[in-house]
Structure 1
Amino acid sequence: MNNLNLAQRVKELRNRKGISQEILAEESSLSLRTIQRIENNETVPRGDTLKRLAIALNTSPDEIVDWKIQEDQNYLTLMSLSALAFLFFPLLGIIIPLTMWILKKDKLKNVNELGKSMLNFQISWTLLLFLYYIFIITGMFGFEGVLYIGILKMFLPLIILYAYNIIITIYNTIRVHNKKSFKYRPALRILR
């Protein structure tokens, strides 16, 4: 990470917290001039200075320096779209995003949060789908068997389930692409 990005990152974290340079200086026990030099890219915080900044900004030194985590919006968008693989086989909507999540969760920013949210939703959706199949096969909906169920009665819940998953996936993919927050709901919190 170059020094300019570090200076911008400190300023961004300070602004996100809604505090002035003076308050950051006070909370970090650093001088106002040190804060100004860091934000103006005149110096690079190291060691104790970095630790104090991190504590004052309620973050970690790694988050400030951000030397190992990079951003890749295209990867996040592709990862979000990968959930549409459920259209070919329901478990693919879990397997492909899971693979993408495992490969990059510690290397790319926001992959961990997106992956957990997506996977919780896809696992919940797949469980609901399989429960529906079990109910249909065993006749738990009060039907006398699959042969007596009207085609519309049998397939309407499936159409609704698939349509809902498509809508949620595309909606959240657009939000991810536009760098907005995403909400995959409803979902069981399997991955925390």
Structure 2
Amino acid sequence: MEVINQKAVRTDNTLLAVTHLTQLLSYVTGFGSLIIPLIIWLSSKDKVEGMNEHGKAIINFQISLILYIIISIPAILLLGLGILGLIGVGILGFILPIVNAVKASNGESPSYFMTIKFIS
């Protein structure tokens, strides 16, 4: 008798939404916007339906925001354009996780604006 190892995949839109909202931890604590979603994604990407797609989108978005911040800091010396970049990163980093948490709770795919795909 052969036993086939089947993993139970469950649908959990609440966990997907919470994973998106954990990106807002950096506004409260100053850190955690990359680490906490990474831990949630790695621990449940095989157990929750859609977590792999949402987790990759979150990690790509957070790495892109870090890259935009690194680019914006020296750009402050160029007529203050870096300040506009930092303000834009702050606004996008606050609004897009909320929008995508609502999308995740409705069962839709995530869409982050200006995200570079580091993990595909």
Do they fold alike, i.e. is TM over 0.5?
yes
Equivalent of 2:96 in 165, 168, 174? 168
* Other structure's SS at 1:93 match: coil
Distance of 2:62 and 2:7 partners within structure 1: 32
Q: How many residues align?
A: 115
Residues 6-31 of structure 1: CA distance to partner in whole angstroms, max 9, x if unpaired? xxxxxxxxxxxxxxxxxxxxxxxxxx
Distance of 2:82 and 2:61 partners within structure 1: 23
**Partner residue in 2 for 1:184:** 112
Between 127-136 and 172-181, the greater mean CA deviation after superposition: 127-136
Q: 1:106 to 1:154 in 2, by over 3 A?
A: closer
Measured after TM superposition, the shift of residue 125 of structure 1 is: 1.0
Residues 93-113 of structure 1: CA distance to partner in whole angstroms, max 9, x if unpaired? 211111110110111111100
Name the structure where helix makes up a greater proportion of residues. 1
Q: 1:135 to 1:154 in 2, by over 3 A?
A: closer
For structure 1, the residue ranges without an aligned partner over 5 or more in a row are 1-61, 144-148
* Other structure's SS at 2:110 match: coil
Q: Which has the higher contact order (CA 8 A, sep 6+)?
A: 2
Q: 1:132 to 1:154 in 2, by over 3 A?
A: closer
Measured after TM superposition, the shift of residue 126 of structure 1 is: 1.1
**Partner residue in 1 for 2:20:** 80
Q: With the length of structure 1 as denominator, give the TM-score of the two structures.
A: 0.54
- Counterpart of 1:116 in structure 2: which amino acid? K
Equivalent of 1:68 in 8, 18, 21? 8
Measured after TM superposition, the shift of residue 72 of structure 1 is: 1.3
* Other structure's SS at 1:183 match: coil
Matches of residues 98-109 of structure 1 in structure 2 within 5 Å? 98-109=38-49
Q: With the length of structure 2 as denominator, give the TM-score of the two structures.
A: 0.82
8 Å contact kept, 2:72–2:83: no
Matches of residues 46-65 of structure 1 in structure 2 within 5 Å? none
Residues 70-109 of structure 1: CA distance to partner in whole angstroms, max 9, x if unpaired? 11111111101011123243x5221111111011011111
Query: What value does the CA root-mean-square deviation take over the aligned residues?
Result: 2.2
Q: 1:134 to 1:155 in 2, by over 3 A?
A: closer
For structure 2, the residue ranges without an aligned partner over 5 or more in a row are none
**Identical positions, percent:** 28
* Other structure's SS at 1:174 match: helix
Measured after TM superposition, the shift of residue 165 of structure 1 is: 1.7
Residues 127-169 of structure 1: CA distance to partner in whole angstroms, max 9, x if unpaired? 1012212333xx3x1x5xxxxx6xxx76443222211221111
Matched, 1:112 2:112: no
**Partner residue in 2 for 1:121:** 61
